[in-house]
């Protein structure tokens, strides 16, 4: 990535403060375990996290992630990241494993393109999960229905998705033909940052290569895109020739919920629920329940309602686990 097209990023006073400490402001463009790549006025260089920052960290969210602005000491061959600057948006998910700690997918993203292809991968319930997580990140979600060339009736998918992707744009795209990705390019602007997320094989890296006008990411060969095979394995930030920033991410098998925004993602259900006769209506058979009435006359899909309940349960469980962990840590600290 060329330093001449680094985005505006943190404001002048932050840059000045970092410079006073002999540090420079850089952006994290790549991460492979504990080795980072950062881009600054000094160009692209490898970087590690300072020991102090590592010891003060209380969880994965305190570590740098792709898209982060950091203050770094760039005097040596390997830069030393001393601080992570405040984030404008954080896209996170629960990490696999037993801890309740979240994992950052990307930060300081303006628009998250949620990619879903119109074949076996098509799943409205999974899309609802993605939308809930992206709304909570502070970035704007935009749904990309990919591989239009493989679908006999793309309009049907577009309509169906439009009904659940409330407040988000829905674009139908393909890598075939001259202008199959024109809708994406129209959506993008110079200086802004875009992340691509979604299942493996839906065509995220193919889009990134198109936007870069170069094969910067490997894509799977046709036929080798078998289930469970991930072509992209690390997250990476690129500056496009048009001056935008794009982050490619590895396909996710499942998106475990961490931070979620139900008010935005399920605004239709929340609005209906406000009209139920009882304030504490569980929509389980109470009289004059606006939610059940909407399901009965077909205005709300029963599957959508069921998914909403399931996700809420999951989020509640997650929250209880996080609280329990917090209490346990506080107790341990007091005892020691
Ligand atoms: N027919 C068709 N194939 C496509 C389209 N876009 C991508 N592909 C193919 O789909 C396969 C997977 O594409 P990738 O770009 O590697 O998918 P990905 O989302 O980056 O996958 P991971 O890196 O594993 O997460 C490749 O063989 C692409 O050539 C499209 O619009 N139509
Ligand atoms: Mg990929
Ligand atoms: Zn109700």
Per-residue pLDDT tens for 130-167?
999 999 999 999 999 999 999 999 999 999 999 999 99
The closest of 71, 53, 66, 68 to 16, measured between CA atoms, is: 71
- Is pTM beyond 0.85? Reply is yes
Same domain, 298 and 152: no
For a substitution probing ligand 1, which of 198, 206, 229 has the most ligand atoms within 8 Å of its CB?
A: 206
Residues 242 and 328 in one domain: no
* 220 occurs within a structural domain: yes
Q: What is the largest CA-CA distance in the chain?
A: 70
User: Which tokens sit at 209?
Assistant: 């290569």
Please report whether residue 258 resides in a domain. no
Does the beta carbon of 149 lie inside 6 Å of ligand 1?
A: yes
CA atoms of 103 and 259, how far apart (whole Å): 11
222-231, Cβ contacts within 8 angstroms, sequence gap of 24 or more: 225/200, 225/201, 228/200, 228/253, 229/200, 229/201, 230/200, 231/200, 231/201, 231/205
pLDDT given at position 277 = 96
Residues 205 and 63 grouped into a single domain: no
Q: Label residue 147 left, alpha or beta by phi (over 0 means left) and psi (-120 to 50 means alpha).
A: left
Please tell me whether residues 286 and 328 are part of one structural domain: yes
* 3-class DSSP state of 71: strand
The total number of structural domains that make up the chain: 3
pLDDT of residue 99: 57
Let me know whether 213 and 285 are in one domain.
no
Q: Are residues 313 and 184 in the same domain?
A: no
Smallest Cα–Cα separation from 11: which of 85, 90, 109?
85
Is 263 a domain residue? no
Predicted pLDDT at 4: 46
- Residue 261 is assigned to a structural domain of this protein: no
From the number of C-beta atoms within 10 Å of its C-beta (0-12, 13-18, 19+), residue 109 rates as buried
The pLDDT of 236-245, averaged and rounded, is 95
Q: What's the average model confidence in pLDDT over 192-208?
A: 96
Give 310 Cα–ligand 3 centroid separation in angstroms: 16
pLDDT value for 6: 60
Q: Are residues 103 and 221 in the same domain?
A: yes
Query: Which of the listed ranges 10-24, 208-222, 223-237, 279-293 does the model predict with the highest average pLDDT?
Result: 279-293
Residues in the chain: 336
201 close to ligand 1 (CB < 6 Angstrom): yes
Its domain, for residue 162, covers 90-248
Which pairs with CB-CB distance under 8 Å and at least 24 residues apart come from 162-169? 164/124, 164/127, 164/128, 164/131, 164/304, 165/127, 165/131, 165/141, 166/264, 166/265, 166/267, 166/268, 167/264, 167/267, 168/131, 168/140, 168/141, 168/142, 168/143, 169/142, 169/143
Count the Cβ atoms, other than its own, within 10 Å of residue 163.
13
Give the domain-ending residue among 84, 115, 140.
84
On whether both 148 and 282 belong to a single domain, the answer is no
Give the Å distance between the CA of 151 and the centre of ligand 2. Answer: 21
Token reading at 157:
């998918």
Please check whether residues 174 and 204 belong to one and the same domain.
yes
Same-domain pairing of 186 and 216: yes
Q: Assess contact for 124 and 160: CB atoms under 8 A.
A: yes
CA-nearest residue for atom 13, ligand 1, is 203
The verdict on residue 257 lying in a domain is no
The CATH number of residue 154's host domain is: 3.40.50.300
116: Cβ below 6 Å to ligand 1? Answer: no
Q: Residue 46 has what pLDDT?
A: 97
Residue where a domain stops, chosen among 36, 51, 84:
84
In a domain, 218, yes or no: yes
The last residue of one of the domains, among 198, 217, 248, is 248
Ligand with minimal distance to 269 CA: 3
Q: What is the mean pLDDT of the chain?
A: 89
Within-domain flag for 298: yes
How many whole angstroms separate alpha carbon 58 and alpha carbon 101?
10
Residue 227 belongs to some domain of the structure: yes
Domain harbouring 40, CATH code? 2.40.50.140
CA distance 207 to 214: 11
Pocket test of ligand 1: the residue of 115, 220, 234, 252 to mutate, having most ligand atoms within 8 Å of its CB, is: 220
**Residues 172 and 233 placed together within one structural domain of the fold:** yes
pLDDT digits (tens, 9 = 90+) for 254-275: 788 888 899 999 999 999 999 9
Q: Does residue 150 share a domain with residue 53?
A: no
Task: Sort residue 22 into left (φ over 0), alpha (ψ -120 to 50) or beta.
Answer: left
pLDDT band at 228 (very low <50, low <70, confident <90, very high): low
CATH, residue 317: 1.10.40.50
Q: What is the mean pLDDT of residues 81-85?
A: 94
- pLDDT reading at 188 higher than 70: yes
Percentage of the chain surpassing pLDDT 70?
93
- Secondary structure class of 31 (helix, strand, coil): strand
Taking residues 234-251, report their average pLDDT: 94
């Amino acid at each position: 990535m060329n330093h001449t097209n680094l985005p505006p990023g943190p404001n002048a006073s932050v840059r000045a403060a970092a410079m006073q400490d002999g540090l420079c402001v850089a952006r994290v463009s790549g991460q492979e375990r504990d080795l980072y790549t950062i881009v600054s006025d000094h160009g692209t260089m490898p970087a590690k996290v300072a020991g102090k920052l590592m010891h003060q960290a209380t969880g994965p969210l305190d570590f740098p992630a792709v898209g982060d602005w950091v203050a770094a000491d760039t005097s040596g061959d390997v830069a030393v990241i001393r601080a992570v600057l405040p984030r404008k948006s954080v896209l996170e998910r629960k990490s696999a494993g037993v801890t309740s700690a979240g994992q950052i997918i990307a930060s300081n993203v303006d628009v998250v393109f949620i990619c879903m292809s119109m074949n076996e991968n098509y799943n409205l319930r999974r899309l609802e999960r993605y939308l809930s997580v992206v709304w909570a990140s502070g970035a704007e979600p935009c749904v990309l229905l990919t591989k239009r060339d493989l679908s006999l009736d793309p309009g049907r998918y577009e309509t169906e998705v439009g009904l659940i992707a409330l407040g988000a744009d829905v674009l139908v795209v393909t890598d075939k033909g001259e202008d199959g990705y024109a809708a994406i390019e129209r959506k993008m602007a110079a200086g802004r940052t875009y992340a691509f997320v979604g299942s493996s094989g839906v065509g995220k890296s193919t889009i990134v290569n198109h936007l870069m006008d170069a094969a910067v990411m490997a894509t799977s060969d046709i036929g080798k895109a078998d289930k469970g095979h991930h072509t992209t394995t690390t997250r990476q930030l690129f500056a496009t020739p048009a001056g935008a920033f794009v982050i490619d991410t590895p396909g996710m098998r499942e998106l475990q919920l961490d931070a979620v925004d139900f008010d935005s993602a399920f605004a239709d259900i929340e609005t209906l629920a406000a009209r139920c006769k009882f304030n504490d209506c569980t929509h389980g058979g109470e009289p004059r329940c606006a939610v059940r009435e909407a399901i009965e006359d077909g205005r709300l899909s029963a599957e959508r309602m069921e998914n909403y309940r399931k996700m809420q349960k999951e989020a509640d469980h997650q929250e209880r686990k996080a609280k329990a962990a917090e209490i346990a840590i506080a107790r341990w600290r007091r005892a020691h």
